[in-house]
Amino acid sequence: MWELRRLNLNWNEAVELRLGQLNETDEFYLGAYERAYLYKEKIKKHHDRRIARRDFQKGDWLLLFNSRLNLFLGKLKSKWSGPFKVNQVYSSRAVELANEDGNVFKVNGKQLEMHYVMQTSFN
């Protein structure tokens, strides 16, 4: 209060100046929020474009990723097991598989990869 008197400032001018500064900071925060939102949308589009769709059909042969593989069992040991035959595909992306023995189990579709068999004939 005593500084305002010493500088001969008016209360109304000081209040208007401070409110103007607060409005500018609010506008700055809103602009930053909008830019962050646009950036996140752009990154999401880029990420979604790079995701490969995995649509499995009944009768396909798949490989299952072995996530319980111990770290030091073997450097060159394959992390994929199978092949397994698809019995049913659910809408939640879960897949029902059957192995060669006829055992049936369900797994998440993200742990599966298509198994391509190379047909070779020797004449």
Q: What is the pLDDT of residue 79?
A: 81
Q: Find out whether 87 and 77 touch, Cβ atoms under 8 Å.
A: no
Same domain assignment for residues 67 and 46: no
Q: With respect to residue 96, please indicate whether it lies within any of the assigned structural domains.
A: yes
Q: What is the pLDDT of residue 1?
A: 60
Q: With respect to residue 56, please indicate whether it lies within any of the assigned structural domains.
A: no
pLDDT tens sequence across 51-85: 777 788 888 888 888 776 555 566 677 788 878 89
pLDDT tens sequence across 100-122: 888 898 988 888 888 776 555 54
The structural domain count of the chain equals: 2
Written as one string, the DSSP assignment of 9-41 is --HHHHHHHHHHHHHHHHHHHHHHHHHHHHHHH
pTM above 0.85, yes or no: no
Q: What is the pLDDT of residue 122?
A: 47
Biggest CA-to-CA distance, the chain: 107
Same domain assignment for residues 71 and 110: yes
Q: What is the pLDDT of residue 123?
A: 46
